[in-house]
């Protein structure tokens, strides 16, 4: 069973940004409850559909499939007001890659960084621009950010 193990942090300042170009992501939620989340995403010029299971700590099952971008855009219409937009930057740091998301729309100004790990116990060096660990704070889950404004 494919598993996502992810830590999420608030980001301090803009020192992380440098000259790296980001990619726009539009993602919507077809379904989100305590057992499963179904998301559709347009990431640059590609489309994806993702199913994620219930969280256990910082882990959960994840099934993600590339789909034609045209179909992803059509599925986004079913998401109605459960859509968010962000710019994602992939920032290499000490043998790891942090994905930094700058949110647009109602959450403009919110910047979060994520790192995918191989195990919950994996150690990694934190760049100085990483702030508070919000991995298990539900208000920072993307599926909840479509519902309310955070900064």
Enzyme catalytic residues? 29
Task: Tell me which residue has tokens 């790296």.
Answer: 20
End-to-end CA distance of the chain: 35
User: CA-based diameter of the chain, in Å?
Assistant: 40
Task: Tell me which residue has tokens 């992803």.
Answer: 72
* Closest to 128 in 3D by CA, of 101, 91, 88: 91
Secondary structure letter of residue 145 according to DSSP: H
């Amino acid at each position: 069973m494919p598993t996502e193990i992810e830590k999420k942090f608030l980001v301090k300042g803009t020192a992380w940004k440098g000259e790296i170009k980001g990619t726009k992501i539009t993602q919507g939620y077809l379904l989100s409850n305590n057992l499963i989340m179904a998301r559709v995403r347009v990431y640059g010029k590609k489309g994806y559909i993702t199913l994620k299971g219930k969280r256990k700590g910082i882990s959960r099952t994840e099934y993600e499939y590339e789909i034609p971008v045209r179909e992803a855009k059509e599925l986004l219409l079913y998401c109605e007001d459960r859509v968010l937009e962000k710019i994602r930057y992939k920032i290499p740091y000490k043998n790891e890659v942090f994905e930094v998301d700058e949110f647009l729309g109602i959450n403009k100004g919110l910047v979060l960084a994520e790192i995918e790990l191989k195990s919950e116990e994996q150690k990694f060096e934190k760049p100085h621009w990483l702030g508070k660990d919000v991995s298990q704070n539900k208000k920072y889950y993307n599926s909840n950010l479509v519902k309310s404004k955070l900064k």
